[in-house]
Amino acid sequence: MQTQTHPLEPFFQQVVRNSYEGALGLHDPDMTSYVAHLLCEFSRADRLYPLRDAAGHPVEDLAAWIEASDPVNGSAPSFDAERSVRKSIGDFALFVGGMYPEAMQPGHRRGPHPSLGELIQAGKESYYIVSQFNLFEYEKEAPLFARLSDGFERCVLGLALVRDELHKHNRLAPPPVQ
């Protein structure tokens, strides 16, 4: 069975590759593909907050996500659930940190929220935790998450460059942060 790609995936592959390889010297095709796929996923607004509360509403509080990822002291029912939520935290932090950093500025959202630095730290830590799931079905992708964790700040910067490039051509991105 052949998987169907998102219609924007070739476009995002190219723009991410241009920013990651061309501007930052990050020559990692797996990382480029992952980030391009992430942009496709988040092109649908309902995918930004995958964690839901008991009533089915999206959970927007990062602290609640971190608690939901903890199988010992939090509410994660298993280590697989921990990995899934931690992957979501890393994805969210990478996307928001690179494409919408103004969302972390005080006054932009209601209620308490982390600073951009705290968001980046949570994303980096979350990808590291995901990389530690390196056995069985997760063995092949664990090294990618280790590289994403190690280079998290550069990946965020790469997405900021993607954002700037998209804005320059008036495509799919908000204006750059001033």
Residue 101 CB contacts under 8 Å (≥ 6 apart), including other chains: 116, 160, 177
pLDDT at residue 149 above 50? yes
Please state the rounded mean pLDDT for residues 12-18: 95
2 in any annotated domain: no
Mean pLDDT value across the chain? 90
160 in any annotated domain: yes
pTM of the model: 0.89
pLDDT at residue 174 above 70? no
Position 22, amino acid = G
Euclidean distance between CA atoms 177 and 10, whole angstroms: 26
Please state the rounded mean pLDDT for residues 100-108: 80
83 in any annotated domain: yes
pLDDT at residue 178 above 70? no
> pLDDT-derived band of residue 68, with 50, 70 and 90 as boundaries?
very high
177 in any annotated domain: no
pLDDT at residue 171 above 90? no
Find the domain containing 82 and state its range.
9-168
Euclidean distance between CA atoms 172 and 163, whole angstroms: 8
Dihedral sign, Cα of residue 153, residue 158, residue 159, residue 161: positive
pLDDT at residue 3 above 70? no
Domain count, the chain: 1
pLDDT at residue 111 above 80? no
Please state the rounded mean pLDDT for residues 72-98: 94
Euclidean distance between CA atoms 153 and 151, whole angstroms: 6
Please state the rounded mean pLDDT for residues 93-99: 96
173 in any annotated domain: no
176 in any annotated domain: no
pLDDT value for 2: 44
> pLDDT-derived band of residue 141, with 50, 70 and 90 as boundaries?
very high
Q: Helix, strand, coil proportions of the chain in percent (round to 5)?
A: 60, 0, 40
46 in any annotated domain: yes
85 vs 173, residue with greater confidence: 85
34 in any annotated domain: yes
pLDDT at residue 142 above 80? yes
> pLDDT-derived band of residue 108, with 50, 70 and 90 as boundaries?
low
